[in-house]
Each structure stands twice: as C-alpha cells, then as structure tokens.
Structure 1
Amino acid sequence: MANKTQPNDLKVADYLNQISPESRQADCRKILEMMRDISGWEPRIWGSKLANGIVGFGDYHYKYDSGREGDFFRLGFANRVQNISIYIMPGYQDFEDELARLGKHKMGKSCLYIKRLSDIDEGVLRDIMKKGLRLMAEKYPL
C-alpha cells in the first residue's frame, strides 16, 4: 500500500498566498526560504488539496518489512489552524539537546509544532533541519 500523500502540480505561491493572518504567512515564507537554503531543493506541494497541503523538499523511497512502501519528502512544513507544523522525516527522537534550546514548541513523532517564529530560536531550528537532512541521507542516500 502506497502513501496517500503524493506530490502534485499545485503552486507553492498559491499555497502561501492563501495563508492568513499576514504574520503567519510571513513566518511560512521565512521557513520556506530556510528550507530551500538548507536543502538546495525547490519545494513542491504534497497532498491533494491546497488548503491541507504540505510544502515538501526532496524525496525518498521507503520500504518497510511489512511490505508497505512509498515516496515522501525529506523535509517540509505545513500551515495548520493552530500551528505551523515542521516535518523532519527521521523523527525527533535524537534531538533532545536541540529541542531543549529551541523555545516554545510542541511535539509529534516527525512533527514539530510552533505558533510563530518569534517563539523560537531560528538558529536552533536551522540546526534541527540540517541534522534531520543529514540523518535522512545516512538512512536513504541521495
């Protein structure tokens, strides 16, 4: 069974333009530029609908022992009602030090939730993104 979240031809600019308020849109634009800078890749929208999409960078193919396989992005973010979700695909289990220094956030398995960039240390966020990409490259070489 493949992953239901697939890349599509929706425009990243359209995704960003529909975000409000303006302060949230500005934060998402800054995260986009951080991820573009760090990864060197151009973003794509993953998901079937613009409003629920995820801005993803890079991709990799995974295959689990169960037989499930698919493709997914290596680094990404999404605007959600309550937060901005930041995805690093190896998950955050090896990021205790960075998370302790990050600032105000909540956690999921591969998802970091922040309300706004001003709540966190952007340098630490960059370090987290770089480390996540490095761990991905070790597990899923380019």
Structure 2
Amino acid sequence: MAKNKTTETNASVEDFLQAVPDETRRSDGRQLLAWMEELSGFPAKLWGPSIIGFGSYHYKYASGHEGDMPLIGFSPRKDSQVLYLFQGFPEWEELLARLGKHKTSKACLYIKKLSDIDIAVLKQLITESLAHSSNG
C-alpha cells in the first residue's frame, strides 16, 4: 500500500512562508496562519513539503488505507491560497455565496488574495469547518 506523502513534519513553518516568492501570497499566508492558530487553538505544523496544518485527525477508508491529516490547513501556491477545510456542513454553500471571489474543488477552497473576500465569512467557514470536522 502506498505511503501517505502528507505527514506532519518538524520543518519550520516560518522558513517555509519566508520562502514564498510572491509578497501578497506570503503576507496573506501569515494572516491565515494567525487566524487558523487563533480559531483552532492548535499550533501551525508543516505537513509534507507545502501544507500548513492545524490539529489532526485519523482516517481509515474501506480499502484499508489510513493516515492522519490536519483538521484545517492551507498552502500558498503559485496562483492562489489553497485552503483545506471540512466542507460537509449545512451552512457551507450559503457561506460560500457570501465569501467573495473564490473557486472550489471537491476538497479545496481557492482564494487569490484575502482582499478579494469577506474576512468575517472566511473566519466563519473556518470555525464551522472545525466544529463539524472529524474531531469537532
């Protein structure tokens, strides 16, 4: 069975953020780090080479594959901030409709710049995600 590449590391979150080449992405990343630490109550940890995660939960699929993942997290990618949030709660769609400029995929929320969105709605998304996640 394949080994999960996204595992918690001891690498420096600050060094990782400092190496983000785009100043807006780096600055927004520092702001997301502060909000996610505050809202989750967990310290930031680097998961794999590029995900800043907070807290963790254990999962196990019917196939037998299992592992650990952060409860919430983000990654400052080249084109946008990628947020990893639990999406299976009733208010998800309504909050997204009020968030501002963003994109979503099956498991991610993409935001180009924090200035494009309603910060209060983002904080509510993070809070609700934590409340409804595997350990919430």
What is the TM-score normalised by the length of structure 2?
0.92
SS of the equivalent of 1:109 reads coil
Q: What is the match of residue 17 of structure 1?
A: 18
Q: What is the match of residue 81 of structure 2?
A: 84
Shift of 1:5: 0.9
1:135 aligns with 2:132: yes
Q: What is the match of residue 8 of structure 2?
A: 7
* Unaligned runs of at least 5 residues, structure 1: none
1:32 aligns with 2:33: yes
Q: What is the match of residue 93 of structure 2?
A: 96
The question of whether the paired residues in 2 share the 8 Å contact of 1:104 and 1:120 is answered with yes
The question of whether the paired residues in 2 share the 8 Å contact of 1:92 and 1:109 is answered with no
Q: Structure 2 vs 1, CA of residues 134 and 69 (structure 1 numbering), >3 Å: closer, same or farther?
A: same
1:75 aligns with 2:72: yes
* Unaligned runs of at least 5 residues, structure 2: none
Q: Matched residue pairs, number?
A: 134
After superposing on structure 2, the runs of 4+ consecutive aligned residues of structure 1 that deviate more than 3 Å are none
Between 1:26-35 and 1:14-23, the stretch displaced more is 14-23
Partners in 1 of 2:40 and 2:32 — Cα distance?
12
Shift of 1:141: 3.2
Shift of 1:67: 1.2
CA RMSD of aligned residues (A): 1.5
Partners in 2 of 1:91 and 1:3 — Cα distance?
22
